[in-house]
DNA sequence: TCTAATTTTTAGACTTGTCTAAAAATTTAT
DNA sequence: ATAAATTTTTAGACAAGTCTAAAAATTAGA
């Protein structure tokens, strides 16, 4: 149905659309995929021919319903495989992404349904990102950045914005794990750094970290 | 390291070498991969450049040690994934091959080592074929075709020669499963058909079937 | 509005992998 | 040994995907 390359473009557009309701520009896609605008321009024609995007010239592309469903299914596979790697194969959360980038392109509906069942129908991947359902529906969860919490407010750590290996390993080193309860003890006006209470311990957190950690306010 | 296409050629040559100690001909490879001799000729140059085959002109190719190890690792991955699909995802043995053809190309040593462990370090795939170890060593097992058994001889069913979906489903329908003990009750000279005793039941088996079932004599 | 900066597309080239058709080399048969 | 049949290689073309460089369209600025 779709080539590996087409799937990667669809996924990129899908992710970009989550942050924008306007058409996705050629340049934005090129940046996301670390490729050139001319290559994107070529691919847009192919995707348009295949009815997965609509293109209004110089206004960017938008996914059609078919495009959205196709892209969501790739994201679904990516995240289910990440759960599998962590839960069944003892990968840590900073090791799974590159392997999932490969596994997401395996074509077998039965495989992914059975994997879903084996994993107990998980709703989120190891980084706290929601797993689209079979129909491509994504439930958006009510999340805030840790940096938006005020003094004495609390939340449960539910996800990361930056899911680079570097950031994830940094969180590991600090002992910050999804599910942990965090309370803001102090907020420095000077550099927006935080003093937080997490799992009974006190920690100092820079603004950069607080801007990349999602919490659910409680 | 190797492209998907290069990996498929290596695997094809590896399988062909198991049945022949001579160089593998261009035509034999073309037939195995359902492609054209000219394409094979092109690819042999690439593989030769990459030091995974040696080519003596008009004498066919042979895998180098590096080539053998690389090919065996692909076969190892293919067979481990087949075990996974059957043991963990409830696939039947006739459904696994095509998915394994895709999964065998996933690149992650950790993935395959952990999968091996999850599966309990299996030695054979669902069709009775041996799984190469981490160093690419394949233990050849002592197996005979059911058709070579004489009247009143017995064996345990340990593998299939033809592993097409059609044959595997036929075996399912007849109730023949790996591990079953088979005794030859009668052998017809006329058409070489067999009357066998399997799991307490009597069955009539054509020569075609008996020529595609491996047993271990007991 | 008219020019400048930016974005996007096109033109042309290159790589990988494939194919058909034809040429060349080898093997087999007489 | 020579011709015939077979195998293998080469030549040339094509599709997918990418790139650089240049042209065209759009948007922004004065
Ligand atoms: Mn990921
Ligand atoms: Mn991908
Ligand atoms: Mn197989
Ligand atoms: Mn393959």
Reading the block at residue B31, the tokens are 């037939």
Confidence of residue A161 (pLDDT cuts 50, 70, 90): very high
Indicate which CATH number applies to the domain containing B27: 1.10.10.10
* Count of alpha carbons within 13 angstroms of residue B115, beta-carbon side: 26
Summarised one tens digit per residue, pLDDT across range A96-114 is 999 999 999 999 999 999 9
Residues of A with CB under 8 A from a CB of B: 85, 88-91, 95, 98-99, 102-103, 106-108, 110-111, 114-115, 118
pLDDT above 90: residue A133: yes
Is B117 part of any domain?
no
Q: State, as a whole number of angstroms, the distance between the CA of B41 and the C1' of D7.
A: 12
pLDDT score, position A174: 94
Confidence of residue B64 (pLDDT cuts 50, 70, 90): very high
Is B96 part of any domain?
no
pLDDT score, position B28: 97
Total domain count, chain B: 2
Q: State, as a whole number of angstroms, the distance between the CA of B171 and the C1' of D10.
A: 47
CA B70 to chain centre: 17
Q: Counting beta carbons within 10 angstroms of the beta carbon of residue B57, is it exposed (0 to 12), middle (13 to 18) or buried (19 or more)?
A: exposed
pLDDT above 80: residue A57: no
- Domain interval for residue B164: 144-217
Task: For residue B119, give the nearest of B158, B72, B82, B152 by alpha carbon.
Answer: B82
Share of chain A above pLDDT 70, in %: 100
Is B73 part of any domain?
no
Is B116 part of any domain?
no
pLDDT score, position B47: 97
User: What does DSSP assign to residue B137?
Assistant: -
pLDDT score, position A184: 96
pLDDT above 80: residue B113: yes
Share of chain A above pLDDT 90, in %: 92
The 3-state secondary structure of B176-216 reads: CCCCCEEEEEEECCCCCCEEEEECCEEEEECHHHHCCEEEE
Is A73 part of any domain?
no
Is A168 part of any domain?
yes
- Cα of B96 to ligand 3 centre, how many Å? 7
Task: State the nucleotide closest to A36 in CA–C1' terms.
Answer: D19
pLDDT score, position A140: 84
Is the CB atom of residue B41 positioned under 7 angstroms from any atom of strand D?
yes
pLDDT score, position A96: 98
pLDDT score, position B45: 95
Is B82 part of any domain?
no
pLDDT above 80: residue B180: yes
pLDDT score, position A195: 95
- Rounded mean pLDDT of B188-204? 93
Is B48 part of any domain?
yes
Is the CB atom of residue A44 positioned under 7 angstroms from any atom of strand C?
yes
Which has the minimum average pLDDT: B10-14, B56-60, B180-184? B56-60
Selected for mutation to probe chain A from B1, B87, B106, B116 (highest A CB count within 10 Å) is: B106
Confidence of residue B51 (pLDDT cuts 50, 70, 90): very high
Domain boundary among the residues A42, A63, A84 is at A63
- Rounded mean pLDDT of A3-27? 96
Does an H or E element contain A184, and which?
A: strand A181-187
Reading the block at residue B211, the tokens are 């020529």
Domain boundary among the residues A21, A44, A63 is at A63
pLDDT score, position B58: 77
Q: Which residues pair with A205 in a beta bridge?
A: A194
pLDDT above 90: residue A136: yes
pLDDT score, position B59: 81
Mean pLDDT of chain B: 96
Chain B residues 92-111 within 7 Å (CB) of strand D = none
pLDDT score, position A141: 81
- Cα of A120 to ligand 2 centre, how many Å? 24
Is the CB atom of residue A48 positioned under 7 angstroms from any atom of strand D?
no
Domain boundary among the residues B34, B63, B92 is at B63
pLDDT score, position A218: 86
Is the CB atom of residue B188 positioned under 7 angstroms from any atom of strand C?
no
Indicate which CATH number applies to the domain containing A200: 2.30.30.90
- Rounded mean pLDDT of B26-43? 97
User: Residue A118's closest chain B neighbor by CA?
Assistant: B89
Q: Which residues contact B114 (CB under 8 A, 6 or more apart)?
A: A89, A90, A91
Q: Which ligand is nearest to the CA of B6?
A: 4
């Amino acid at each position: 149905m779709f080539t590996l390359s087409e799937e990667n473009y669809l996924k990129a557009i899908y992710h970009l659309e989550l942050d924008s309701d306007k058409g996705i520009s050629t340049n934005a896609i090129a940046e996301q995929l670390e490729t050139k605008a001319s290559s994107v321009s070529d691919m847009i024609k192919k995707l348009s021919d295949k009815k997965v995007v609509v293109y209004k010239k110089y206004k960017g592309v938008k996914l059609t319903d078919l495009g959205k469903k196709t892209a969501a299914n790739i994201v679904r596979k990516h995240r289910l495989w990440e759960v599998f790697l962590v839960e069944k194969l003892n990968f840590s959360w900073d090791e799974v992404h590159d392997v999932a980038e490969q596994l997401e392109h395996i074509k077998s509906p039965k495989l992914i349904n059975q994997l879903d069942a084996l994993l107990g129908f998980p709703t989120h991947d190891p980084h706290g990102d929601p797993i689209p359902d079979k129909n491509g529906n994504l439930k958006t969860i009510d999340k805030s950045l840790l940096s938006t919490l005020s003094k004495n407010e609390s939340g449960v750590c539910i996800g990361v914005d930056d899911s680079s290996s570097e950031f994830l390993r940094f969180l590991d080193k600090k002992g910050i794990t999804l599910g942990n309860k965090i309370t803001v003890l102090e907020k420095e006006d000077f550099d927006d750094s935080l003093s937080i209470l997490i799992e009974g311990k006190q920690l100092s957190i820079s603004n950069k970290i607080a801007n990349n950690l999602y919490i659910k306010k409680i």
